[in-house]
Amino acid sequence: MNAANATSNSVVFNAIGWLFGAVVFAAGVVNVFWGNDPEFGVFIVLLSFVFLPATNVVLDDFTGFKIPGLAKVALAVLIVWMTLGVGELPDKIDLMLEDF
């Protein structure tokens, strides 16, 4: 793999991390304010920081440890399952839209 390809992969993975982190953060905020389980929402908000590339940089600077990509993928699947299935996110979004 050449340096240009590695750089473009890094940019793509960073963009995906920021996008997924923002979506998970938003889902957590919805769970905090609409529904009956704000603790679950806070948990999801905290988990959203795992996907932000800046978190990996800070974690690497302080501890020398980076979160492996495979762990992030497994966590992403778990978060999607929890927020859509167990957390009933579509129902909470409907509640949120009724308030506006």
Banded model confidence at residue 19, pLDDT cuts 50, 70, 90: very high
Among residues 42, 47, 4, the alpha carbon closest in space to that of 24 is found at: 47
Q: What are the structural domain ranges in the chain?
A: 3-99
75 — pLDDT class (breaks 50, 70, 90) = very high
In this structure, what is the dihedral angle of CA atoms 14, 16, 18, 19, given to the nearest 10 degrees? 160
Q: What is the mean pLDDT of residues 1-9?
A: 59
